[in-house]
Homo-oligomer: A and B are copies of this chain.
């Protein structure tokens, strides 16, 4: 099961590849342009960028780098998904690194809705691929909430 989910997610992610070339950097910027345009309330988590427009993101060195970081994280999730213990360890590490941002714990699941929306701007997601992302999101969120709880942090 997890092998097929991983395969479908990886295939769709091949349309938003990380890298040092301009086209790859743009894939990263495009995530934040999509994110901030469609979910402006969530800009509150990006100190100093609470009012950023898509145009601001486009010109921002910070979001060029941040774009690569977020894309890489999602690629790593897909690459590791077939090895569930590694995947879950990466989820926990991701949670640990976000501790300082005091995020609403409901956002961990919501992220995947945002990401699917972004990915739809890069490629068509067929039914099986959408379901694969939903499955990964569910497994991610389950591990995230358990780890938040075990870490004494707010969880849902």
Interface residues of A (CB under 8 A from B): 10, 17-20, 24, 68-69, 71-72, 75-76, 79-80, 83, 85-86, 88-90, 92-93, 150
Residue of B nearest to A80 (CB): B79
Closest Cβ–Cβ distance, residue A138 to chain B (whole Å) = 19
Q: What residues on B are CB-neighbors of A150 within 8 Å?
A: 20
A-B contacts, 12 listed (Cβ < 8 Å): A17-B85, A18-B86, A18-B89, A19-B85, A20-B92, A69-B93, A72-B89, A75-B83, A76-B90, A79-B79, A79-B80, A80-B80
Report the minimum CB–CB distance from A99 to chain B (whole Å): 13
How many Å lie between the Cα of A20 and that of B85 in the bound state? 9
Q: How far is the CA of A118 from the CA of B124 in the complex (A)?
A: 45
Q: How far is the CB of A13 from the nearest CB of chain B, in Å?
A: 9
How many angstroms from the CA of A86 to the CA of B68 in the assembled complex? 11
**Most chain B CB atoms below 10 A, which of A18, A79, A80, A93:** A79
